Amino acid sequence: MNDSIIEILKTIFDRDLTKLRVEIASYSKEENLWIETDDISNSAGNLCLHLVGNLNTYIGAEFGNTGYIRQRDQEFSLKNVPRTELISMVNETMKIVKDSLDMITKEDLQKEYPRILMDANPSTERFLVHLTTHLTYHLGQINYHRRILDV
């Protein structure tokens, strides 16, 4: 079977957002989600907020017309957001990503992504692949944060 890139992206986003939810739920102590050290300046809680903001902006608002307005500074400045709220945000983001990806056509994938990003104008397809790797990168950081600091 030859899956479309949209189906592949939906599978990857679902897999990794599910893993994000599991990582956040796996902390033995909720307050450990917010630990920062001299060497680790982004807590797992803030990375979770960052991923939610990123996907809601670049997929949800752009293709799902959700009206989401990003407050990127708060993704890193908010602290002690309850774990249940973080998990709820991840669950909502999963639905928004899936629904928004369902709205993208094959023709849309080949178009230039509608926003200027990283000093370039990638195709929508290329930028969506970038968003999967961005999610996976920060998911790995959260996993290490949990294993090192959740003691």
Q: What is the pLDDT of residues 41-80, one digit of tens each?
A: 999 999 999 999 999 999 999 999 999 999 999 999 999 9
Q: Is pLDDT of 114 > 90?
A: no
CATH number at residue 132: 1.20.120.450
Q: Which domain holds residue 145?
A: 5-149
Q: Find out whether 56 and 69 touch, Cβ atoms under 8 Å.
A: no
What is the pLDDT averaged over residues 89-93? Answer: 98
Q: Helix, strand or coil for residue 1?
A: coil
Number of domains in the chain: 1
Is the pTM for the entire model greater than 0.85? Answer: yes
